[in-house]
Amino acid sequence: MKILHTSDWHVGKVLKGQSRADEQVAVLADIVKIAESERPDLVIVAGDLFDTATPAAESKKLVVRALSALRRHADAVVVIAGNHDHAAEIDALRPWADGAGVTLRGSVGPAADHLVTGTTRAGEPWRLAALPFVSQRYAVRASEMFELSAADASATYADHVARLIGALTESFADGTATVNLVTGHLTVVGAKLGGGERDAHTIEAYAVPSTVFPAATHYVALGHLHRRQQVLAPCPTHYCGSPLAVDFGEEDNQPGVNVVEVTARTAAKVRAVPVSAATPLRTVRGTLAELSAMTVPEDAWLRVYVREAPRAGLREDVQQLLPRALEVRIDPLVLPELDPSRTVETRAGRSPRDLFADYLTAKGIADPAVGDLFNRLYDEVSTAGGAH
């Protein structure tokens, strides 16, 4: 059996105000080309198709076209919702998906709805436990949906997820010659963040141990963390990573998909296939003089740490040198440290002009234009206030 495992497309993602729609089209086209070349029996999309719960119409159109194209080159396509997706919106596409031969699972429903089965072209049966992202708020409700009597309100999030997966995979140990698969949108204990995930859903409270996956599983296809990696677990457990770096924290990741070959009697062979259609992200550091002499990739989006004191117009000067700089920051190394022994002066009786001047001094900002601008704005506000 051959599987193409992809996740975390984040269609609609904007980077520091810069649209990446063209990049996302190219990335999904690359994934479709990989599917055309590999001819997998099954494509698994492990969540976060969209970057927001309210995607634009163009984003929806792109995802639907990509899933339709993948289905033309694979016998089956199974998609689960991630934490960025709106589960009900994903489920609303199910009538279209059913007609197109694509299996979508947005919300958690009865257990039987999440065990997807099929047969490869060679006649080998497979079954896939497909669990969409479950928030802490709905973990108890999901357990009740599965009619698990042990799921009480005091159980932890990891306990609930373990029970859900346990219910879905209880048939895996039946001894039949079937390829057993699991897909989920989860944070597994010990896995490394990719750098651009939503922090609220990757904290410890949302982490589950890898022991939730039964040893009888031939491959676990995970989404949520954007770094490609294998997780130490009782069975082969992998994040395929995002096919494009969604933020500068992910610039060192290797975007791609996983292609997996496995049978009911042999171990999974996992192969990373790179996807290089997206524009690379790079971080550069230096003074203006150093930046002007620096050789940077012409096609890269840049994050720039400037090694100069803050002043008005510095961002514009940097972007004149490096027009593809989407983020400009002062390098923390050049900011003066506040003297811990410095006596804190009282604010009582001091004018806003004096207080702002002290603030500029403390931050190492010596540009007179900043102080002059503040004074002008303060005068305008004071005059307007007096007029009333």
Tens-digit pLDDT profile for residues 211-240: 999 999 999 999 999 999 999 999 999 999
CA 79/CA 46 separation, integer angstroms: 6
- For 326, the enclosing helix (H) or strand (E) is strand 325-330
Which single residue is written with the structure tokens 């690379």? 280
Of 35-44, 83-92, 360-369, the one with minimum mean pLDDT is 360-369
Within a 10 A sphere around the Cβ of 183, how many other Cβ atoms? 28
Report whether pLDDT(376) > 90.
Answer: no
Report whether pLDDT(139) > 70.
Answer: no
Higher pLDDT, 39 or 175: 39
Report whether pLDDT(326) > 80.
Answer: yes
Report whether pLDDT(200) > 60.
Answer: no
CATH superfamily to which 2-274 belongs: Metallo-dependent phosphatases (3.60.21.10)
Structure tokens at 313: 């117009």
Exposure class string for 39-77: b at 16+ Cβ within 10 A, else e: ebbbbbbbbbbbbeeebeeebbebbbebbbbbbebbbbb
CA 62/CA 50 separation, integer angstroms: 10
| Mean pLDDT for the stretch of residues 53-71 | 96
Percent of the chain topping pLDDT 70: 86
Which single residue is written with the structure tokens 């806003």? 352
| Mean pLDDT for the stretch of residues 185-204 | 71
DSSP letter assigned to residue 257: E
Measured CA angle at 315 (ends 314, 316), to 5 deg: 90
| Mean pLDDT for the stretch of residues 20-33 | 97
pLDDT at 364: 66
pLDDT at 341: 46
pLDDT at 289: 93
Structure tokens at 203: 């904290």
Of 147-156, 263-272, 308-317, the one with minimum mean pLDDT is 147-156
Pairing of strands 281-286, 269-274: unpaired
Report whether pLDDT(334) > 90.
Answer: no
**pTM for this prediction:** 0.82
| Mean pLDDT for the stretch of residues 327-349 | 63
CA 212/CA 302 separation, integer angstroms: 40
| Mean pLDDT for the stretch of residues 163-172 | 93
- Average pLDDT score, the chain: 87
